[in-house]
Amino acid sequence: MKVLVTGASGFSGANLVRRLLEEELLVKVLKSPFSPIFPISP
């Protein structure tokens, strides 16, 4: 399943992305161009 997460650089969004990656889903993220980029790993 493919999932798009908006606000992925925020606290809730980053945790949601981690959880979705743990479920082995294909995750795409949309973030503000002013937000820092943090590595997200399961």
Q: Where are the domains of the chain?
A: 1-35
Contact predicate 6/35, CB 8 Å: no
Question: Per residue in 4-42, pLDDT tens?
Answer: 999 888 888 889 999 999 999 999 998 888 887 776 665
Q: Read off the tokens for 42.
A: 């399961």
Residues 6+ apart with CB under 8 A from 26: 1, 2, 3
Residues 6+ apart with CB under 8 A from 41: 18, 21
HEC per residue, the chain? CEEEEECCCCHHHHHHHHHHHHCCCEEEEECCCCCCCCCCCC
Determine the pLDDT at residue 40. Answer: 66
